[in-house]
Chains A and B, each alone.
Chain A
């Protein structure tokens, strides 16, 4: 496996920014993805934005002393997501059931994506993409959940388009200030 696809490794090399055209294409991709998630089109998301070998990981964020070698998260420990494509499909299968009560009545979703940076990697087919997000979910009358975090994505070029091959999601919350996570980030 290419190192950069290894979910446990953070990006380190930020010295080869992609050209403006690539950056614009990636931005378009991420914005379209966000819009797809906002309208709960999860099957479309799997079909058009996610690659076969996706590794989608969101660890729990522990509060640890700076001197603690374990750090705030570690792959292999507790996580909110640590999914391959077949596992993402299970989650989507629940979303589309009429009795998915946490989604019926519908939740109002907004994915705000910002701080997008795009870097070339050692593999010309792969791009390292950093972004930050604000995720807002509002339900019923006044139930509102907001999550902020960062994503470290690896996008694979598919012709003129891209597919998500790896996503690390690092949120800023220790205790998730929400009862659930009925969305993808």
Chain B
């Protein structure tokens, strides 16, 4: 399309159809992850070109966490969030469904919704020239005096670009910019088996405590994501001070570690757990919560079975690829939004069972604040590690140096009847290796058939276990 040159005679009508970018293939970047030597090249944490490829290959394609259903209970309730660096509005429609809309006006691009959240919105009006959009994103009108007479203007063709697909899994709303992406359940695969530890341990499901804590950390987004996917190792050293303050001793993985602890991974999503029942809950510092989780875990056995019932409050952590993480039993729930190769915005919430007593919900709110918020005794010591793991790679020579991701090579557990790729012991780099393997798959493949059938897919043997 050419812009008007002098006389506008015969100028075409603008094509206002939403654009969903297609993926490419970046084999050179995929090779930055070496499965044979269990190594990750540091350029994945520092290189601007790699970062731009991540936005295209991962954040414009993967299903990304958007909101919890409880945050937008009624029509017109909305929150603003990010998908990668793209700003989006998540809004409940009058018919109860949820839409996600790119938060950029199709006129000059201005951000349309400027607030974090709101309720009972009638629509969204752009501050620049007053274009007005309905809850469904459609253009309702602008200025009839001006546009009524303008022939290029076809209201029905114009609106906020909808996120291509939106779907929920047990209260969690996800979206993808890729119209070709497989269903959310296919993307999560058998990892739903482990998500249910948090999301479905009781009738009634979960909800988020109101508000959110947002903070900035000058680190690459993958450091916190890999930390939650399977790095319980750091807890002993990084969090010794927090554990001492709350527990009066070190982090404890339980007496039956050798027998019970494991890591499981599906499509790069991963969980590590020690099945010690209440280890994570204990770190919140409220004995009442520990009692609550013991009881919950007892009741959940019928629903979830022995293994998952033991995992509800255990020392454990999980990441859903690429950037959503949570701690079962601890109940912090968070997203690491990328803001360039060296910066993230961390948004975190407290997740609680909807049917839990109010007192329990409030203790979780306070416990999460005491441990996993910027002033919390655990989170306090995480940020600097991730910042310097990122920042040192400014050094030209430094970023050529190898990194070690090889803990637990050869520890795959082929016997245990659990879904996913299972490794023995939670003190293991296995999930992190698989997280980066998934990352490499996204860099390499331009299609979902390859993405869903590579090395990170759960072996067929274990799929049965998820049934």
Do the two chains bind? yes
**CB of B172 closer than 8 Å to a CB of A:** no
Query: Contacts A64-B115, A70-B119, A78-B349 hold; do A179 and B211 have CB atoms under 8 A apart?
Result: no
Considering the complex, give the chain B residue whose CB is closest to the CB of A68. B118
A175 lies within 8 A of chain B by Cβ: yes
> Is B374 an interface residue, CB under 8 A from the partner?
yes
Question: Shortest beta-carbon distance, B68 to chain A, in Å?
Answer: 13
Residue numbers in B under 8 Å from A106 (CB-CB): none
* Given contacts A64-B115, A78-B213, A175 and B345 within 8 Å (CB-CB): yes
A77 in the interface, Cβ–Cβ < 8 Å? yes
- Pick the contact of A179: B210, B216, B237, B238 (CB < 8 A): B216
CB neighbours of A68 from chain B (8 A): 115, 118-119
In the complex, the chain A residue whose C-beta lies closest to that of B371 is: A90
Q: List the B side residues contacting A181 at CB < 8 Å.
A: 374-375, 380
Q: Mark A122-151, 1 if CB is under 8 A from B, else 0.
A: 000000000000000001000100000000
Q: Are A101 and B211 in contact (CB under 8 A)?
A: no
Partner pick for B374 among A82, A83, A176, CB 8 A cutoff: A176
A114 interface residue (CB < 8 Å to B) = no
CA distance A179 to B390 in the complex (A): 14
- Partner of B114 from the list A58, A63, A83, A182 (CB cut-off 8 Å) is A63
B213:A100 contact, CB within 8 angstroms: no
Tell whether A62 is near chain B: CB-to-CB under 8 Å. yes
Task: Report Cα–Cα, A98/B381, bound state, in Å.
Answer: 12
Tell yes or no: B403 within 8 A of A by CB.
no
Is B291 close to A, CB under 8 A?
Answer: no
A78 with B211: CB separation less than 8 A: yes
Tell whether, in the assembled complex, residue A76 and residue B374 are in contact, meaning their CB atoms are under 8 Å apart. no
* From A63, A98, A182, contact of B116 by CB (8 A): A63
Give Cα A77 to B213, complex, Å: 10
From B214, B373, B384, A174 is in contact (CB under 8 Å) with B214
A99 to B378, CA, bound (A): 12
Distance (Å) between the CB of B378 and the closest chain A CB? 9
C-alpha gap A87/B284 in the complex (Å): 11
Contact with B along A142-185 (1 / 0, CB 8 A): 01000000000000000000000000000000111111111000
Cβ of B345: which chain A residues have Cβ within 8 Å of it?
175
Any B CB within 8 A of the CB of A85: no
Residues from chain A with Cβ under 8 Å of B116 in the complex: 62-64, 174
A79: interface (CB < 8 Å): yes
- B350 near A76 with CB under 8 A, answer no
Q: Please report the total number of B residues contacting A with Cβ < 8 Å.
A: 44
Q: Which B residues, 349 to 407, have Cβ-Cβ distances below 8 Å to chain A?
A: 349-350, 362, 365-366, 369-370, 373-375, 377, 379-381, 383-385, 387
Docked Cα-Cα span, A60 to B350, in Å, equals 13
How far does the alpha carbon of A74 sit from the alpha carbon of B373 in the complex, in Å?
17
* Contact A60/B374 with A94-B245, A94-B380, A97-B244 known, Cβ cut-off 8 Å: no
Name the interface size band of chain A.
35 or more
A25 contacts the other chain (CB 8 A):
no
Q: Does B117 contact A (CB under 8 A)?
A: yes
In the bound complex, residues from chain A placing their C-beta under 8 Å from that of B375 are: 58, 80-81, 91, 180-182
| Chain B residue at minimal CB-CB distance from A139 | B384
Inter-chain CA distance A98–B240, complex, in Å, is 9
* CB-based contact A91/B245 at 8 Å: yes
Residue ID in chain B nearest A62 by CB atoms = B116
Question: Are A76's CB and B215's CB within 8 A?
Answer: no
Q: How far is the CB of A177 from chain B (nearest CB, A)?
A: 5
Shortest distance between the CB of A170 and any CB in chain B (Å): 14
- Report A139 CB to chain B, min CB distance, Å: 8
Given known A62-B116, A87-B370, contact A179–B245 (CB-CB < 8 A): no
Report the separation of the CA atoms of residues A87 and B213 in the bound assembly, to the nearest whole angstrom: 19
A97 touching B369, Cβ below 8 Å = no
Q: What per-residue 1/0 map shows which CB atoms of B99-116 lie under 8 Å from chain A?
A: 000000000000000111
Is B118 within 8 A of A175, CB to CB? no
| In the complex, chain A residues whose CB is within 8 Å of the CB of B246 | 90
**A81 vs B217: C-alpha distance when bound (angstroms):** 19
Cβ–Cβ contact B115 & A182, under 8 A: no
Which residues A56-74 have CB closer than 8 A to chain B? 58-60, 62-65, 68, 70, 73-74
B350 CB contacts on chain A under 8 angstroms: 78
Q: Which B residues are in CB contact (< 8 Å) with A175? A: 214-216, 345
B218 at the interface (CB under 8 A from A): yes
B242 at the A/B interface (Cβ < 8 Å)?
A: yes
Give the contacting residue for A101; candidates B369, B374, B384; CB below 8 A. B384
A13 interface hit (Cβ, 8 Å) = no
Q: Given A64-B117, A179-B216 in contact, is the A74-B244 Cβ separation under 8 Å?
A: no
Other-chain contact of A93, B217, B238, B240, B245 (Cβ < 8 Å): B245
Q: Does A41 contact B (CB under 8 A)?
A: no
Give the shortest distance, in Å, between B118 (CB) and chain A (any CB): 6
Task: Indicate with 1 or 0, residue by residue over A89-130, a CB within 8 angstroms of chain B CB atoms.
Answer: 011011001111110000000000000000000000000000
Residue pairs across A and B with Cβ atoms less than 8 A apart, 20 shown, are A60-B214, A62-B116, A62-B117, A64-B117, A68-B118, A78-B373, A79-B369, A87-B366, A87-B370, A90-B377, A91-B377, A99-B237, A99-B244, A102-B381, A143-B387, A175-B214, A178-B215, A178-B216, A179-B216, A180-B383
B contact set with A: CB distance below 8 Å: 114-119, 209-218, 237-238, 240-242, 244-246, 285, 345, 349-350, 362, 365-366, 369-370, 373-375, 377, 379-381, 383-385, 387
Given contacts A60-B212, A68-B119, A180-B375, 13 further A-B contacts (CB under 8 A): A60-B211, A60-B213, A62-B116, A62-B117, A76-B362, A80-B374, A94-B245, A94-B380, A99-B240, A179-B216, A179-B384, A180-B383, A181-B374
Which residues of A pack against B, CB within 8 Å? 58-60, 62-65, 68, 70, 73-74, 76-83, 87, 90-91, 93-94, 97-102, 139, 143, 174-182
| Pairs A-B, 4 closest by C-beta atoms | A179-B383, A78-B211, A97-B241, A77-B211
